[in-house]
Structure 1
Amino acid sequence: MKVSVFDTYVSKKNGAVMHFDILVPADLKDENKIHAFGREYIAQKGQEGQPLTTSECRFCHIEEADADVVADINRQGYAIIEMQGCNN
């Protein structure tokens, strides 16, 4: 499965930065839906209400998804790859 990768940086409530990628099927072009996926994820991390727009979340590239990413997309419509600042 080809996926679009959106490079995302969100300021946390304490001023630190969360860096993560949102991966969605390559044919999904609705940025509002992609941003909603990101807001769902940051809410799960206790950061609800933090801004997530095209300023924080930008298309990066398309790649072939591995099995874990495909499973997440099949289950919830998207996958998250945590890069830094997501678990502290």
Structure 2
Amino acid sequence: MKVHVFDTYVKAKDGHTMHFDVITDSQDNQKAIQYAKKWLTTIGEQEAKVTSEECHFCHSESVPDEIEIEIMTSGFYIQRMEGCPSQ
């Protein structure tokens, strides 16, 4: 499965920057922003600003089976990078 990666940087409530990738099977930036907001809500950061400035298309790639299954189930996968809470 070819997926699309949206590089995302948002400010947390305490002011630090969280860097994560939104990975989805759609190259739709608005959907990626919606997915980012949905995930941020699950970690208590629903007030974080997410626009096309914070979340933008980066590249397309193939992913391992477990990520593909998550995308097929949820529509997206979040790859936590820097400043994100651990899983």
Residues 1:19 and 2:19 are matched in the alignment = yes
Gaps of 5+ in 2: none
What's the TM-score once normalised by structure 1's chain length?
A: 0.91
Aligned-pair CA distance for 1:30 = 2.7
- Superimposed CA distance per residue, residues 7-60 of structure 1 (whole angstroms, 9 cap, x where no aligned partner): 0001001000110000011xx233222111000011111100211011101111
Match in the other structure for 1:73: 71
Which contiguous aligned blocks of 4+ residues in structure 1 show a shift greater than 6 angstroms?
none
**Number of residues of Structure 1 aligned to a counterpart in Structure 2:** 86
Q: Give the root-mean-square deviation of aligned CA atoms.
A: 1.1
Residues 1:8 and 2:8 are matched in the alignment = yes
Gaps of 5+ in 1: none
1:55 is paired with a residue whose SS is coil
What's the TM-score once normalised by structure 2's chain length?
A: 0.92
C-alpha separation between the residues in 2 aligned to 1:4 and 1:29? 6
Greater displacement, 29-38 / 66-75 = 29-38
